[in-house]
Amino acid sequence: MILASLVEGKEMLETVIASVIGGIGVTFAFSVAIWGVGRFGDLSRNERPLAAGGAIAVAGIALACVGAALLFGIVVMTSK
């Protein structure tokens, strides 16, 4: 006798793991972007242009990661 399965356990577990990793990763990247912008403001007021440039570069990279994750999520959701 074959039992029907309404929910596939393996796929459900993969979805939960991916959402947790994605949620934590995007949240972390966005917090790094906020930190970079804050440090940029502090360092530029203290006349440290090289360090301020590094901080804004970190913020830009972090925002690019958030944007890439957003785009990846949209592509995955529309392809299924």
pLDDT at position 24: 95
Q: Is residue 21 part of a domain?
A: no
Mean model confidence pLDDT for the chain: 91
pLDDT at position 43: 95
Question: Which structural domain, as residue segments, surrounds residue 69?
Answer: 27-79
pLDDT digits (tens, 9 = 90+) for 23-62: 999 999 999 999 999 999 999 999 999 999 999 999 999 9
Q: Is residue 40 part of a domain?
A: yes
Q: Is residue 36 part of a domain?
A: yes
pLDDT at position 34: 97
Q: Is residue 48 part of a domain?
A: yes
Q: Is residue 71 part of a domain?
A: yes
pLDDT at position 76: 87
Q: What is the dihedral of CA 43, 44, 48, 52, to 10 degrees?
A: 70
Q: Is residue 70 part of a domain?
A: yes
Q: What is the dihedral of CA 43, 49, 54, 56, to 10 degrees?
A: 70
pTM of the model: 0.78
